[in-house]
Copies of this chain bind each other. A is one copy, B any other.
Amino acid sequence: MGKNLTSRAEDYSKWYNELVVKSDLAENSGVRGCMVIKPYGYAIWEKMQAQLDKMFKETGHENAYFPLFIPKSYLSKEASHVEGFAKECAVVTHYRLKNAEDGSGIIVDEDAKLEEELIVRPTSETIIWDTYRRWVQSYRDLPILVNQWANVVRWEMRTRLFLRTAEFLWQEGHTAHATKQEAVEEAERIMHLYAEFAEEHMAVPVIKGTKTESERFAGAEDTYCIEALMQDGKALQAGTSHFLGQNFAKAFDVKFANKEGQQEYVWATSWGVSTRLMGALVMTHSDDNGLVLPPKLAPIQVVIVPIYKGLDQLDAISEKVEPLVKELRAKGLSVKYDKRDTHKPGFKFNEYELKGVPVRLAIGQRDLENGTYEVARRDTLQKESVAADAVVEKVVSLMDEIQENIFNKALEYRKEHITAVDSYEEFKQVIEEKGGFVSAHWDGTPETEDRIKEETKATIRCIPLDAKQEDGICMVTGKPSTQRVLFAKAY
């Protein structure tokens, strides 16, 4: 196809990296581990943001903004939290540069050392709960339902575009409640909201569940998650929602007077999804020809390519196409008419395939004579000739069809890649050879979980929400178990 894209079968990881760069989503920057999100990639992220933001607001949340920097002492206040983040954080120690006296260039000015180091936020629980202490006095001040769109930094050693970068963009919700029940309900509500977003908008089927203790967020009492499955059989955690108990309220002394006038600690949740979703989107749907984007998130939903010899033919085509562009836009579609004379149709076909534009219309001399368009859908690569007066209706219905088709395709793949096993031998074989989720009994201990991880690289992705109660025995230790959990190798 002239795209020079490594195939998935050949090297899935290489395919992913090449695709992200070649389709103009993102690229590495000169700063270790930090990416540049290019306009085409950012346009998809903006669509994700807009939809999520709408869903957050519909469920009563408001946006706010908290400082980028976290004093070192704040991070230290919640014990397991600092444990989780101290090992990989960017530390600001000085606030000025100066010219070296020996003329060797610009150096850090040692006279401008901060009294207390500042951490570039890896997540904002600590700075936010320090703020909530000022916001909460009485039960009347609760709940606080706040979200923040922000950049965060975690100094990862091995980075990959979108999937794991030192800096990434995300949203982080931080809510404060008067009761445990309310906070748990909020954490669950958001898990469902994330799942709805992933399935309805990204067309990515996800499994909802809770994390085991060792996979929980640092500082959480319970972590709810949505887990997706990539085409190489590896799982990807797509979003998490944490019930934080009163841990941060206690660490930052956030109390409220209840209706009886007694002081109580506030209950908390936090939850986030990040630009990692971009990685999940690419890896779920795309193929060896390039991106496949769900119509609901595609920056360009329809591209129209004229096929012509000479500018007279182009003018005749444009006369037909321009009113069509208006009609399609009036239907709310994002349409591009690519009449660049500097590139051949074949080049353009390749480009829009690579970029995952859901529907491509082509119109040449014969179409002009017959009153037709060639309509090609990106997901199946099928083409058909459609009468000009039926093309708007066709394109509109294709938006829904493609959205549904790629979801079903991904769901089908996942169904084929959930394997129930009852022995550790079988487990190891499936993890190694077939991949995907493996449903198995486990004795509920971190020790067994660790052993499995060490021996197979598979981790418990979640305890599924819809897991049936079923008596069984742990595949490793033979101890009793009451439900299966889902294992997988994961991103």
Q: Which residues of A contact B (CB under 8 A)?
A: 27, 29-31, 34-39, 42-43, 45-46, 62-72, 74-76, 82, 86-98, 105-106, 108, 117-120, 127, 130-131, 134, 140, 146, 150-151, 153, 155, 167, 169, 342
The binding surface of chain A is classed by DSSP as mixed
Task: State whether A39 touches B62 (Cβ < 8 A).
Answer: yes
Quick one: copies of this chain in the complex? 2
Task: State whether A120 touches B68 (Cβ < 8 A).
Answer: yes
How far in angstroms is the closest Cβ of chain B from A168? 10
Option from B71, B75, B131, B169 in Cβ contact (under 8 Å) with A36? B131
Q: Which residues of B contact A150 (CB under 8 A)?
A: 151
CA distance A42 to B34 in the complex (A): 27
Closest chain B residue, CB of each to CB of A152: B68
Which of A34, A91, A155, A342 has most chain B Cβ within 10 Å? A91
Task: State whether B127 touches A67 (Cβ < 8 A).
Answer: no
Q: Which residues of B contact A27 (CB under 8 A)?
A: 131, 134
Option from B31, B64, B68, B90 in Cβ contact (under 8 Å) with A167? B68
Closest chain B residue, CB of each to CB of A155: B95
How far in angstroms is the closest Cβ of chain B from A6? 21
Option from B29, B65, B76, B105 in Cβ contact (under 8 Å) with A127? B29
Task: State whether B90 touches A92 (Cβ < 8 A).
Answer: yes
Write 22 A-B pairs (CB below 8 A) sorted by A numbering. Answer: A29-B127, A29-B131, A30-B131, A31-B70, A35-B67, A39-B63, A39-B64, A39-B146, A42-B63, A68-B153, A68-B167, A75-B106, A76-B106, A86-B97, A86-B106, A87-B96, A87-B97, A90-B95, A91-B92, A91-B108, A92-B92, A108-B117
Beyond A31-B69, A91-B94, A93-B93, 17 extra complex contacts between A and B, CB < 8 Å: A27-B131, A29-B67, A31-B71, A36-B67, A42-B65, A45-B65, A68-B167, A69-B167, A89-B95, A90-B94, A90-B118, A91-B95, A91-B108, A93-B108, A96-B155, A108-B117, A151-B151
Q: Which residues of B contact A43 (CB under 8 A)?
A: 62-63
Task: State whether B108 touches A97 (Cβ < 8 A).
Answer: no
Task: State whether B34 touches A68 (Cβ < 8 A).
Answer: yes
Task: State whether A97 touches B72 (Cβ < 8 A).
Answer: yes
Task: State whether A30 touches B71 (Cβ < 8 A).
Answer: yes
Closest chain B residue, CB of each to CB of A75: B106
Task: State whether A69 touches B34 (Cβ < 8 A).
Answer: yes
Q: Which residues of B contact A72 (CB under 8 A)?
A: 97, 106
Closest chain B residue, CB of each to CB of A41: B64
Q: Which residues of B contact A93 (CB under 8 A)?
A: 91-94, 108
Closest chain B residue, CB of each to CB of A34: B67
CA distance A106 to B73 in the complex (A): 8
Q: Which residues of B contact A63 (CB under 8 A)?
A: 39, 42-43, 46
How far in angstroms is the closest Cβ of chain B from A269? 17
CA distance A150 to B167 in the complex (A): 13
How far in angstroms is the closest Cβ of chain B from A99? 8
Option from B29, B68, B94, B118 in Cβ contact (under 8 Å) with A66? B29
Which of A46, A74, A93 has most chain B Cβ within 10 Å? A93
Closest chain B residue, CB of each to CB of A96: B87
Task: State whether A92 touches B68 (Cβ < 8 A).
Answer: no
Q: Which residues of B contact A90 (CB under 8 A)?
A: 69, 92, 94-95, 118
How far in angstroms is the closest Cβ of chain B from A86? 4
CA distance A89 to B106 in the complex (A): 12
